[in-house]
Amino acid sequence: MAIVKFELDVDDLLESFEELEDPRSQTNRKHPLPSVLMIAVMGVLAGNGGPTGIAAWANDKAEWLQSILDLPHGIPRKDVFRRVLIALNPEAFQSCFHTWTSGFAEDAWKSTGVGRPILSVDGKRPVAATIRPKE
């Protein structure tokens, strides 16, 4: 079976998280919340669990992440991921995440014609996606 590809837009995920309230105090907002969440989501989708794994993955992908995200102070450390993920409202995060996944599932269907596409992050499934840098 041939691989049908479509692109995920970074801005779609970032926009999905815009409505989330940043739980950090003003003095602890060195890294933009949407960028922290984007890295966390991508890190988990890439098979990394927990703040330490996410931070390690992000450091391995630092050059690429800095080309697609707003990271004025570089890659956040594991403590940033831990604090943000603990402090987030889980229901609000779930709602935003659902909005994003519903949107890209619809885009994948329109692009590929596959009713229930399988998003592949390893290239071993019929439908694969790449993440396009924000413009």
Identify the pLDDT of residue 115. 65
Banded model confidence at residue 123, pLDDT cuts 50, 70, 90:
very low
72-83 confidence digits (pLDDT tens): 999 999 999 999
Identify the pLDDT of residue 7. 61
Closest CA to 38 of 60, 59, 68, 63: 68
Cβ-count burial 59-77 (b if 16+ within 10 Å, e if not)? eebeeebeebbebeeebbb
Which residues share a beta bridge with 6? 129
**Positive or negative torsion for Cα 67, 108, 111, 15:** negative
pTM above 0.85, yes or no: no
The gap between the terminal CA atoms of the chain, to the nearest Å, is 33
Q: Are 92 and 20 in contact (CB under 8 A)?
A: yes
pLDDT at 125 over 50: no
What 3 state SS string does the chain have?
Answer: CCCEEEEEEHHHHHHHCCCCCCCCCHHHCCCCHHHHHHHHHHHHHCCCCHHHHHHHHHHHCHHHHHHHCCCCCCCCCHHHHHHHHHHCCHHHHHHHHHHHHHHHHHHHHHHHCCCCCCCECCCCCCEEEEEECCC
Banded model confidence at residue 8, pLDDT cuts 50, 70, 90:
low
